[in-house]
Chains A and B, each alone.
Chain A
Amino acid sequence: MNNRLEELRRARNIRQEELAEALQVTRQTIGSLENGRYNPSILLAFKIARYFDLAIEDIFLYEEESQ
């Protein structure tokens, strides 16, 4: 699963630490999400979507082939 987290964060000029604090996760988790090493739970995905005021599908891109 790919995501646009880094792109959205940079576009809004937010630091990883700030995003992590807002989502109540560690900065490393944000890094792992951005690198695509970690897929978030549905709960965290919703939190991220709400934070950016977008739908989950606008941030997380599910690719059938990668499965």
Chain B
Amino acid sequence: MKREWIKLGSSAALAAVFLVLGAFGAGFAHRDIIFYMGFGYCGASAVTLVRMLRERRRPERYEAARREQQIILQDERRIMLREKSGRAGYIIMWYTLMLIAIVLMFTPAPRWVVWCMWALVIYQYVVGLAAFRYYMRRL
């Protein structure tokens, strides 16, 4: 329950910050997006609050769901599947970013956008390599 309170508190705080910045932050170029993000966090807070109220009404059901979640989190097959899907996501994203960067070079897109895309491709590759080296030393 304590974790739920932390979750609720942090999403409510973020909602408040984004809503205030979106509404009154005159210096921001994309105030509207900041404001919508605040709405998004409001929704997340509301969902957490509703779930907490339901759990309080049926504690035995909450306890069973919590136990199930615990098992799902530590189930080794699911851990393996999460790692596998993360790897697949990494490869797909790498090729997607590279494709977008190549396509953008043949369009009248601003120069900084093309450079940013290539920087992202390189950054993703370097981060992957750094993570690999880190695990090589640890395992």
Please, could you name 20 A-B residue pairs with CB atoms under 8 Å apart, sorted by A? A20-B71, A24-B71, A24-B74, A24-B75, A25-B76, A25-B77, A26-B71, A26-B72, A26-B77, A26-B78, A28-B77, A29-B75, A29-B76, A29-B77, A29-B78, A32-B77, A38-B77, A38-B80, A40-B76, A44-B76
Q: Inside 8 A of A26's CB, which chain B residues have their CB?
A: 71-72, 75, 77-78
Binary CB contact string for chain B from 75 to 86 against chain A (1 if under 8 A, 0 otherwise): 111101000000
User: Which chain B residues numbered 44 to 103 have a C-beta less than 8 Å away from chain A?
Assistant: 71-72, 74-78, 80
Shortest distance from the beta carbon of A23 to any chain B beta carbon, whole Å? 9
| A13 beta carbon closer than 8 Å to chain B | no
User: Which chain A residues numbered 13 to 57 have a C-beta less than 8 Å away from chain B?
Assistant: 20-21, 24-26, 28-29, 32, 38, 40-41, 43-44
State the CA gap A40–B78 with chains docked (Å): 12
Q: Inside 8 A of A29's CB, which chain B residues have their CB?
A: 75-78
Q: Inside 8 A of A44's CB, which chain B residues have their CB?
A: 76
Interface size, A (range): 10 to 19
CB closest residue in chain B, given A26: B75
A residues within 8 Å of B by Cβ? Answer: 20-21, 24-26, 28-29, 32, 38, 40-41, 43-44
Shortest distance from the beta carbon of B37 to any chain A beta carbon, whole Å? 35
Shortest distance from the beta carbon of A22 to any chain B beta carbon, whole Å? 11
Q: Inside 8 A of B78's CB, which chain A residues have their CB?
A: 26, 29
Q: Inside 8 A of B72's CB, which chain A residues have their CB?
A: 26
State the CA gap A31–B133 with chains docked (Å): 35
List of 6 A-B pairs having minimum Cβ-Cβ separation, nearest first = A29-B77, A26-B75, A25-B75, A41-B76, A38-B77, A29-B75
Shortest distance from the beta carbon of B7 to any chain A beta carbon, whole Å? 24
Shortest distance from the beta carbon of B70 to any chain A beta carbon, whole Å? 8
